[in-house]
Every structure is written in structure tokens, then in C-alpha cells.
């Protein structure tokens, strides 16, 4: 129940909506009441629910079949108390004997009472995890059942915070699970992930061709990975049984499409046929880092990948990737934190180690050729080299977007900095898939008139694009949570200006920024006709503790101050600065 305290509250409080999976849940609304001046006005009989299906990710090939029920309550006024109750009966598709439930013991809004009650067989004790709370249940046993009751009266509202690490819960909460063993979770899905299933003859012939061409298991792994990633398109029909149970490898190969479950099972089966140890593994795309601490539950996962072991080396492969580059020695693992292999014995959560970044994954090299003679245009050549994960992303971008669209976006970027910039031709791309290197070259010119307009040459900006915009800059006010920096960043941006008529130097206050979380530096060199500056940015850790956010924000300001330099490149005195 909640009270409408002002006109704004009517917009939210006069409507009730909830989502449910019709394949597993049956929802009954028991009552809808308005309490006005102590009088209860019943509205269930005149409530007209609309039930509709919203597939939010249909354009990505993701379909889950969930429904939304929505009703607008008649005659709700400021000062009313809206009270409604519903019962949800869930029939799990798998793991019918397992329980998992979690709830917050405080919200970001004032609330009078949060009350949670769980009744469970006494012979099967429950496991609890307290997340930033010391609240314990009141426990009562009666006959064959035990009842656990939690009550949180007038909890202090929790300020919502952004940029949170995946393993940091916004609200203090309680987790409840009927098991403490991940093997129990694995056993619920293990029968559906048999790796000895038959494959279509045509698909087997492709695997046989791989085996005939490549002797090394590492090469066989990469070729099988590319076969499944590139030839089987991604479509997720995660409705009903399809949300947990994969289709057979034969069906997937014959249809030419599948979701993460389908493609992972097909890839693992293919690798087994090639004599390589492989298993499918459960993980989570966005909250995989939290898997190390959460209580065991099948609901912790929304994705499936493949674990491969060759000799003593472990590889993790996401079969839903497309056009992934690299060979075994430079393959980029998915950045999901942890995964749970689906194995018959000793199932345990395993960490997915990141590759150490020993070189920039994006290197932007801009070369500005100022005109040698009056009336000639300025020339700009930009070569951007992508490596590792950035190469995978750029390779996908180049095939999923038109070259004209990408080129137009790049031209707009440079026109914002240097108005009048014109493209001299299409993008020139080069892709070394095995090395996982992609390069893109752009060519522009800026007319003499545009260079002179608005004193552009006299206030010429050199700006670094090393990913500073990806670093979060949250509000420090009442911040109590760490900041999540995300996947590792290591980028480089070089500007070279040629055909100058003076000697230029970098700023005197150009100090490096080195912290336990990020590192930034700029290096410059010059001659009488050329000036060059190199910027580097690298994240050292993936999160900043709450106590260090102040120094972190200060370092960000310093980085921003040193990320763009302005010069009067029209000057022709040898003493110019």
C-alpha cells in the first residue's frame, strides 16, 4: 500500500503494472482498494486490465515472451491510500525443488514496513546471505514446515547511486537459497547439455576438413570457433522451455541460427569431436562479477559460453560473438567475471581472467600537414589502429554499418573541431584477423579560407581521443559506494603537425597523472618545422573505493585539463610558444 501525497504522485500511483512469464507464472490480483478518509473503496470489480507483450530487444534477435499487465484505477485523488494484493504461482521449468528469493530491506523512498515471509520444509534448512544489513529472521517451526519472517520498519531511504560495480547491490538486501552447492544448480541443467549428440553430416564434414588441415588443437579450436560464430546467426527464442533448454546441435546446425545456449552446445560438441576438452558454462553478461558471492541459483545466469582446456591452458569462448579475431595466443576472453562450467562432478564458480594489456588497444595517429604556400589547403590524415577487443568491436562495426555512415560520422567529428573540413575519399580499411589488428585510414583537407576563418590557425586545437569520456564522473555528494570503471582501457593518441615555421613546445604544467586506478601522460617532441604530442590513458584497476573518489575526481579534472592543447600555428617566429 502507498499514499498519494501530491499531484505528481497521481501519475505513478493511479496505475498498477507488473510483468510475468506466462510459461511459468499464473498471477491473480486479489484486491484493489482505495482508502479515503478511513473508508475502503473497492475497485477490483471495475478494474480493466490490459495485458500486452513487449519485446524490448526484438531488434537484437532476443525474444522472451514476457507479458505486461496494466490497469488505471478509477477516481484516485491526492491523499488516497492505494492498496492492492496479488498472488503469483510459479511452476519452474527446471529446478522445481530449488528455492531462491531475494528482497531489499530498504528502498530509495520512505516506506513504513517491508515484510517478507517464507514457509519451507523443516527437513531442508535454508541458506541466507545478508548484503549490507545485519537483519535476521524470526524463525518458527510448526509440524513439517518452518516459517522465516523478516520485518523492516521505517527503514532509512537509500540514496540511489550510479556507476556501481556489478557485485555492489544498490539496496541492503537478503538472499535466500535452498542449497549452498553450485553442483545442485548444475545438476538441474546437466541432462540437457550432453556433448555426445549427433551432428548433421554436412556440418561434420566441415569439422573433418578442419581436422585434416590443422594438427594443433589450438588451431582446431579457433577454426571451430569461427565456424560456429560466423556461420550460425544469433537469434534468441527464450520463451518457455527455450529460456533454459537448448535445441539439439543437429537442429541448430540445420536451421543456421541459435541463441547462446544453442551455439555454446554446438561449439562444445564440435570441439569434443575434434578431440579437444570443452564444456559449456553458465555466466551473466552484465553481473558476472557478482557470481563469486551470490548464493547458488539458476536465476543468477543469463548467458552461456564455452570453457576449453588444452594441456594446462584454459580458454573461454563466447559462441555468440561474430567475426572474432586472434589465434589461441592472442584470443580475447569474454569480460564476464566468473562462469560455472556444467560438469558432472565438482562444479564450482571459476574466474575468467582478463588478458593483460601490454599495448594500446586503440591508437589514433593524426598527421596535420599545414600548407607550404599561401592558398593551399591543410591536409589531415588519420590512421587508427585497433588491437584485441577493440579490433573485434571495430571489425563488427565495419560489417554492421555502411562505410558511408561511418565516414560521415568521422567527418562530422572533425568538422566540429575544424569547421569546413572535407573528406578526400572513402575510408581505407585493413584487417589482419589472425593478429586481431584492424586499421582505418581517413583523409581530409581544409581550405585556406577555412583555415584563416575565425582565427582557426591562430587558435588551432590538438585534442586527444584516448577514452576520457568513458571514465565515470559521478556526484560525490553522500557517495558511499565504489565507482565501477568497467573493462580495461589502454589508448594512445598522437598528433603530428608538419610544415611549421616556428619551434613549438608543450605546456610547462604538463604533469603525468598516476593513481592506483588510472594513469595518464602526455609526451611531446619538436623540431623547427614539426611538433608532435603523444597522449596515453590506461586504467589500472576496475573500480575506485568510495574513500578514494575525491582524489579520483581531482585526477580526472587534471587529465581533462591536459587532454587538449591550443597553438598559434600561423606564427613564424623561431621563439614561438
Q: 531 with 559, same domain?
A: yes
Does residue 258 lie in a domain region?
yes
In a shared domain, residues 314 and 452 = no
CATH number for the domain including 1?
2.60.40.3140
> Rounded to an integer, what is the distance from CA 12 to the centroid of its chain?
30
- Residue 63 in domain: yes
3 found inside a domain: yes
User: Within 13 Å and on the Cβ side, how many CA atoms surround 221?
Assistant: 25
Residue position matching grid coordinates 582505418: 440
- pLDDT-derived band at 240 (thresholds 50, 70, 90) equals low
Nearest one of 179, 190, 2 to 97, comparing CA atoms: 179
Whether residues 494 and 398 share a domain: the answer is yes
The DSSP code for 216 is: S
Yes or no: say if 221 and 328 are a contact pair by the CB < 8 Å rule.
yes
Confidence at residue 305, expressed as pLDDT on a 0 to 100 scale: 98
Say if residue 150's pLDDT is above 60: yes
> For residue 577, is pLDDT > 50?
no
Indicate if the alpha-carbon torsion angle 290, 292, 297, 302 is positive or negative.
Answer: positive
**Any residues with CB less than 8 A from the CB of 541 and at least 6 apart, and which?**
485, 516, 517
End residue of a domain, out of 63, 91, 119: 91
Amino acid 94: pLDDT:
84
Q: What is the DSSP annotation of 179-204?
A: -S-HHHHHHHHGGG--S-----HHHH
Please report whether residue 25 resides in a domain: yes
Instruction: Give the lowest-confidence range in 240-244, 275-279, 544-548.
Output: 240-244
End-to-end CA distance of the chain: 69
Sign of CA pseudo-dihedral 68, 72, 73, 74: negative
Q: Both 230 and 294 in a single domain?
A: yes
Q: Is residue 179 part of a domain?
A: no
pLDDT tens-digit series, residues 48-59: 999 988 777 777
Report residue 109's pLDDT band, with 50, 70 and 90 as the boundaries: confident
267 and 224 belong to one structural domain: yes
| Nearest in space to 344 (alpha carbons), one of 196, 228, 198, 222 | 196
User: What is the reported pLDDT for 239?
Assistant: 65
d(CA 116, CA 340): 30
Check the CA dihedral 402-404-405-406 and report its sign.
Answer: positive
Which of 402 and 12 is assigned the larger pLDDT?
402
Left if phi > 0, otherwise alpha if psi is -120 to 50, otherwise beta: which for 375? left
For residue 17, the tally of other CB atoms under 10 A from its CB is 11
Least confident piece of the model among 139-153, 442-456, 471-485: 471-485
HSE-CB at 246 with a 13 A cutoff on CA atoms is 33
Among 52, 71, 91, which residue terminates a domain? 91
Q: How confident is the model at residue 519 (pLDDT cuts 50, 70, 90)?
A: very high
pLDDT at 386 over 90: yes
> How large is the average pLDDT for residues 433-455?
96
Do 248 and 315 sit in the same domain of this protein?
Answer: yes
pLDDT in tens, 289-316: 999 999 999 999 999 999 999 999 999 9
CATH number assigned to the domain comprising residue 333 = 3.10.620.30
556 and 424 share one domain? yes
Q: Whole-number mean pLDDT of the chain? A: 93
Which of these three, 351, 371, 394, is where a domain ends? 351
| H helices present in 246-312, as ranges | 249-255, 260-273
- Verify that 534 and 409 share a domain, yes or no: yes
Distance between CA atoms of residues 263 and 320, nearest Å = 7
In a domain, 143, yes or no: no
Residue 61 has pLDDT above 70, yes or no: no
**How many distinct helices (H) and strands (E) make up the chain?**
10, 35
Q: Are 385 and 439 in contact (CB under 8 A)?
A: yes
Residue 490 has pLDDT above 50, yes or no: yes
Band of pLDDT at residue 576, cut at 50, 70 and 90: very low
CA atoms within 13 A on the CB side of 309: 7
Q: Identify the band that residue 438 occupies on the pLDDT scale cut at 50, 70 and 90.
A: very high
Asked if 502 and 571 count as a contact pair (C-beta separation under 8 A), the reply is: yes
Query: Do 291 and 402 belong to one domain?
Result: no
- Domain assignment present for residue 9? The answer is yes
At residue 384, the pLDDT reads: 98
- Looking at residue 82, its pLDDT comes to 92
Q: Which pLDDT belongs to residue 3?
A: 87
pLDDT of the residue at 237: 74
pLDDT over 90 (residue 211): yes
Q: How far apart are CA 213 and CA 78, in angstroms?
A: 75
Q: Do residues 375 and 352 lie in contact, with contact meaning Cβ atoms separated by under 8 Å?
A: no
Whether 448 and 520 map to the same domain: the answer is yes
Largest CA distance in the chain: 97
pTM of the model: 0.89
Range of the domain at 428: 362-567
Q: Does some domain include residue 485?
A: yes
- Does 392 share its domain with 260? no
**Total tally of structural domains belonging to the chain:** 3
Shared domain for 300 and 246, answered yes or no, is: yes
Amino acid at each position: 500500500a502507498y499514499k498519494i501525497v501530491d499531484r505528481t504522485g497521481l501519475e505513478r500511483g493511479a496505475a498498477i503494472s507488473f510483468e510475468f512469464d506466462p510459461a511459468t507464472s499464473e498471477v491473480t490480483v486479489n484486491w484493489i482498494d482505495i482508502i479515503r478518509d478511513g473508508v475502503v473503496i473497492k475497485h477490483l470489480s471495475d478494474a480493466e486490465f490490459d495485458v500486452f507483450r513487449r519485446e524490448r530487444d526484438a531488434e537484437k534477435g532476443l525474444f522472451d515472451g514476457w507479458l505486461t499487465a496494466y490497469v488505471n484505477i478509477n477516481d484516485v485523488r491526492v491523499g488516497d491510500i492505494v492498496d492492492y494484493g496479488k498472488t503469483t504461482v510459479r511452476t519452474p521449468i527446471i529446478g522445481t525443488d530449488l528455492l531462491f528469493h531475494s528482497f531489499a530491506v530498504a528502498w530509495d523512498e520512505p516506506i513504513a514496513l517491508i515484510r517478507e515471509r517464507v514457509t519451507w520444509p523443516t527437513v531442508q534448512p535454508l541458506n541466507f546471505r545478508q548484503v549490507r544489513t545485519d537483519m535476521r529472521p524470526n524463525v518458527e517451526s510448526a509440524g513439517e514446515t518452518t516459517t522465516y519472517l523478516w520485518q523492516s520498519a521505517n527503514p532509512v531511504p537509500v540514496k540511489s547511486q550510479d556507476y556501481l560495480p556489478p557485485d555492489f547491490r544498490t539496496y541492503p538486501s537478503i538472499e535466500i537459497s535452498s542449497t549452498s552447492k553450485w553442483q545442485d544448480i548444475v545438476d538441474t541443467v546437466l541432462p540437457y547439455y550432453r556433448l555426445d549428440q549427433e551432428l548433421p553430416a554436412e556440418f561434420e564434414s566441415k569439422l573433418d576438413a578442419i581436422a585434416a588441415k590443422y594438427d594443433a588443437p589450438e588451431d582446431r579450436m579457433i577454426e571451430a570457433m569461427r565456424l560456429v560464430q560466423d556461420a550460425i546467426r544469433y537469434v534468441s527464442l527464450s520463451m518457455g522451455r527455450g529460456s533454459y533448454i537448448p535445441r539439439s546441435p543437429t537442429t541448430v546446425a540445420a536451421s543456421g541460427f541459435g541463441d547462446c545456449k544453442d551455439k555454446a552446445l554446438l561449439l562444445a560438441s564440435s570441439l569434443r569431436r575434434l578431440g579437444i576438452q570443452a564444456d559449456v558454462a553458465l555466466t551473466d553478461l552484465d553481473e558476472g562479477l557478482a557470481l563469486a558471492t551470490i548464493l547458488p541459483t539458476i536465476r543468477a545466469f543469463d548467458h552461456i559460453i564455452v570453457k576449453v582446456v588444452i594441456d594446462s591452458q584454459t580458454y573461454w569462448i563466447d559462441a555468440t560473438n561474430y567475426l572474432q579475431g586472434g589465434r589461441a595466443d592472442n584470443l580475447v576472453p569474454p569480460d564476464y567475471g566468473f562462469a560455472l562450467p556444467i560438469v558432472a562432478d565438482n562444479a564450482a564458480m571459476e574466474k575468467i581472467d582478463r588478458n593483460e594489456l601490454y599495448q594500446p588497444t586503440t591508437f589514433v595517429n593524426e598527421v596535420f600537414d599545414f600548407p607550404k604556400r599561401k592558398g593551399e589547403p591543410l591536409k589531415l590524415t588519420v590512421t587508427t589502429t585497433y588491437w584485441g577487443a577493440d579490433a573485434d568491436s571495430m571489425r563488427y562495426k565495419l560489417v554492421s554499418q555502411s562505410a558511408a555512415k561511418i565516414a560521415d560520422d568521422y567527418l562530422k567529428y572533425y568538422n566540429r573541431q575544424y569547421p569546413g573540413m572535407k573528406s578526400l575519399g572513402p575510408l581505407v580499411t585493413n584487417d589482419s584477423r589472425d593478429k586481431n589488428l584492424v586499421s582505418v585510414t581517413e583523409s581530409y583537407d581544409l581550405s585556406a579560407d577555412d583555415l584563416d576563418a575565425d582565427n582557426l590557425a591562430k587558435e588551432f586545437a590538438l585534442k586527444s581521443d584516448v577514452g576520457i569520456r568513458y571514465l565515470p564522473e559521478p556526484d560525490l555528494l553522500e557517495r558511499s559506494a565504489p565507482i565501477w570503471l568497467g573493462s580495461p582501457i589502454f589508448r594512445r593518441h598522437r598528433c603530428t603537425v608538419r610544415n611549421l615555421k616556428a619551434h613549438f613546445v608543450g605546456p610547462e604544467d604538463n604533469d603525468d597523472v598516476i593513481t592506483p586506478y588510472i594513469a595518464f601522460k602526455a609526451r611531446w617532441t619538436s623540431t623547427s618545422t614539426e611538433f608532435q604530442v603523444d597522449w596515453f590513458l590506461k586504467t589500472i584497476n576496475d573500480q575506485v573505493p568510495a574513500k578514494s573518489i575525491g582524489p579520483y575526481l581531482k585526477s580526472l579534472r587534471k587529465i581533462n585539463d591536459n587532454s587538449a592543447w591550443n597553438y598559434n600555428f600561423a606564427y613564424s617566429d623561431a621563439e614561438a610558444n
